[in-house]
Amino acid sequence: MQDKDSVIVIGSGIGGLCAGGLLAYYGKRAIVCESHLTPGGAAHSFRRRGFEFDSGPSFYCGLTDSQSLNPVKQVLDVLGESIQVIPYDPLGHYHFPEGTIAVYSDAKRYYPEVERITPLGATELQRFTERLLGLYEAMRGIPTLALRADWQVILTLLKNYLPSLVKMLPYLPLVQSSAGNVMDATVQDPWVRRLIDLECFLLSGLKAHGTIAPEVAFMLGERSRAGVEYPVGGSGAIVQALVKGLKRWGGQLHLGCHVEQILVESGKVVGVRLESGEILKAPIVISNASIWDTYNHLLRPEDLPANYRQAALETPAVDSFMHLHLGIRADGLENLTGHHVVVHDSQQDITVPGNTCMISIPSVWDASLAPERHHVIHAYTLEPYTGWERNQEYEEKKRQQAQSLYRALEKIIPDIRERVVVELIGTPLTHAHYLRRYQGSYGPAIAAGKGMFPSTHTPIKGLYRVGDSTIPGIGVPAVAASGILCANTLVNRHWE
Ligand SMILES: Cc1cc2nc3c(=O)[nH]c(=O)nc-3n(C[C@H](O)[C@H](O)[C@H](O)COP(=O)(O)OP(=O)(O)OC[C@H]3O[C@@H](n4cnc5c(N)ncnc54)[C@H](O)[C@@H]3O)c2cc1C
């Protein structure tokens, strides 16, 4: 029997958990089916020999500040959950061949760092930042929680947010624009242009001209106003809080529950078939799997209009990653800081695989993540999926491709190789396998102004999508926003 209030969510990424949690709160019978034995998707944590590793994200802003724009915080508040965090500043160090700068959330401390490299550039960076902070301030009047992905959003905005809407009007051209356009209008200095490209790349996988301006405005605003913080217990703590919130409102999470097919009859969703063969019926199914996985593997080709399917599957993808998860001895590393970005070669583009390496050492903030006198490290860099196969050369290729990460780590901990007690090297195949993501991609590479994100709707009645291929801005806040938009669209509720 199909229960009219049942909703099945395929996947427990942050997008799926936010949608499922909110729908449970709204009174729906929400069931989240997750393939993996651990929830959280790209944001899950895992434990090996006493080390708690973040599989992906470890950079967060505004998880606890009541004024924060972070949609994760808004969902946690609704569900009655919260997490503990450790604030820190500087938020990281950027290591370029020409020098290292500390990146402070507090702009007044950040500009002098840039000034050491380029005084004129520091002034231009300030102009760029202030332009985007204006947009952030205008965005603050309309919480994501109030939004939905259908025409009724207009009613909500006109009824409850008219003054904020008016405040947004002067910024409308900027909302449509790329961070690159703002950079072109404010920054000439080549070094600062590269710095802006780097920050956009860290955020979206694309440089400034590919990254939408509101995404950068959000990042700059949240980090300077709400501050940067690390969740106690790692990324998994955010996932656990969302799971607790889902269950608190009667929702269910089924782990090790792989959905094989979304069942469609006469253009309408009727449920899903699990790998076990069991059929779960529901009039609403929300897929948190990527656009490629949903349309290629979970639906039959005939379920979708051919043109729509083809266009969706042609969505360009950001590359996958090489990962290095290390447990190391910490003796003599008392002054270590937590986030580092190393650019090896200034002559090469920052997006070239291996050239830009991201490093986080979260045990400097939360010592419980590693055994006593040890640290936990996650380093990663872009790596194309093509060419990777589990053949005889696999182990050797893995070690070779991890060398750029080791070289980056040596800039921070020169004797890193002698300190390693746990070493896990992940390739695009690892990423694709554990995260159930098409080619292990970071997400869609839809450049600003070059295409529309497909949103939560699909051509199939009752089938919706959430996650990083539905909304601009890959990252935890963006996918949480996608969960909110989807959940709100399915109920008749208007937040004030
Ligand atoms: C290395 C790395 C570093 C990052 N750093 C940051 C950062 O510092 N800050 C930040 O904000 N963001 C960061 N991100 C981005 C952020 O982690 C992701 O954008 C976000 O977590 C993606 O969430 P999602 O909702 O799209 O779902 P996903 O995380 O993709 O989860 C989808 C879930 O669906 C499940 N699934 C798929 N198919 C099925 C099926 N058929 N049946 C059942 N279950 C299925 C998968 O197993 C998975 O659990 C990082 C990402 C990576 C990879």
Q: Does 298 reside within a domain? A: yes
Q: Three-state DSSP class for 42?
A: helix
Per-residue pLDDT for the chain (496 aa), expressed as one digit of tens each?
A: 568 899 999 999 999 999 999 999 999 999 999 999 999 999 999 999 999 999 999 999 999 988 888 999 999 999 999 999 999 999 999 999 989 999 999 888 999 999 999 999 999 999 999 999 999 998 888 888 988 888 888 888 888 888 888 888 888 888 889 999 999 999 999 999 999 999 999 998 899 999 999 999 999 999 988 889 999 999 999 999 999 999 999 999 999 999 999 999 999 999 999 999 999 999 999 999 999 999 999 999 999 999 999 999 999 999 999 999 999 999 999 999 999 999 999 999 999 999 999 999 999 999 999 999 999 999 999 999 999 999 999 999 999 999 999 999 999 999 999 999 999 999 999 999 999 999 999 988 887 776 666 689 999 999 999 999 887 777 899 999 999 999 999 998 777 7
Q: Does 495 reside within a domain? A: no
User: Could you give the residue ranges of the DSSP H alpha helices within 161-305?
Assistant: 162-168, 172-176, 179-186, 190-204, 213-221, 235-248, 291-293
- What is the predicted pLDDT for the residue at 446? 80
Q: Does 406 lie in the same domain as 474?
A: no
Sign of the C-alpha dihedral computed for residues 12, 13, 14 and 16 taken in this order: negative
Q: CA 456 → CA 42, 310, 489, distances in Å?
A: 19, 18, 9
Q: Does 167 lie in the same domain as 136?
A: yes
* Residue 84 tokens, joined: 């503990």
Q: Does 147 reside within a domain? A: no
Distance 382 CA to ligand 1 centre (A): 16
Q: Does 309 lie in the same domain as 451?
A: yes
Q: Does 266 reside within a domain? A: yes
Name the β-bridge partners of 101. 94
Structurally, the chain folds into a number of domains equal to: 3
Q: Does 171 reside within a domain? A: yes
Distance 54 CA to ligand 1 centre (A): 12
Give pTM, 2 decimals.
0.95
- 62-71 exposure pattern, b = at least 16 Cβ within 10 A, e = fewer: bbbbeebbbb
Which CATH number characterizes residue 18's domain?
3.50.50.60
Q: Does 398 lie in the same domain as 296?
A: no
Q: Does 92 reside within a domain? A: no
Atom of ligand 1 nearest to the CA of 17: 25
Q: Does 186 lie in the same domain as 115?
A: yes
Q: Does 308 lie in the same domain as 377?
A: no
Distance 132 CA to ligand 1 centre (A): 27
- What is the predicted pLDDT for the residue at 451? 62
Q: Write down which residue in 226, 244, 267 finishes a domain.
A: 226
Q: Write down which residue in 210, 226, 242 finishes a domain.
A: 226
Q: How far apart are CA 356 and CA 144, in angstroms?
A: 32
Sign of the C-alpha dihedral computed for residues 57, 58, 64 and 67 taken in this order: negative
CA 384 to chain centre: 19
Q: Does 431 reside within a domain? A: no
Q: Does 112 lie in the same domain as 219?
A: yes
Q: Does 341 lie in the same domain as 270?
A: no
Q: CA 232 → CA 83, 326, 366, distances in Å?
A: 8, 19, 6
Q: Does 218 lie in the same domain as 109?
A: yes
Among 35, 200, 322, which residue has the most ligand 1 atoms within 8 Å of its CB, making it the best to mutate? 35
Q: Does 213 lie in the same domain as 108?
A: yes
Q: Three-state DSSP class for 493?
A: coil
Q: Taking CB atoms and a 6 Å cutoff, what residues make up the pocket around ligand 1?
A: 10-16, 33-36, 41-43, 56-59, 258-259, 288-289, 293, 298, 321, 380, 435-437, 442-443, 467-468, 474-477, 479
Q: Does 90 reside within a domain? A: no
Q: How far apart are CA 24 and CA 286, in angstroms?
A: 13
Among 435, 446, 464, 486, which residue has the most ligand 1 atoms within 8 Å of its CB, making it the best to mutate? 435
- What is the predicted pLDDT for the residue at 7? 98
Q: Does 108 lie in the same domain as 204?
A: yes
Atom of ligand 1 nearest to the CA of 443: 19
Q: Does 213 lie in the same domain as 109?
A: yes
Q: Write down which residue in 226, 252, 269 finishes a domain.
A: 226
- Of 100, 104, 118, which Cα lies nearest the Cα of 190? 118
Domain span at residue 24 reads 6-44+67-83+232-316+445-489
Atom of ligand 1 nearest to the CA of 60: 9
Sign of the C-alpha dihedral computed for residues 291, 293, 298 and 301 taken in this order: positive
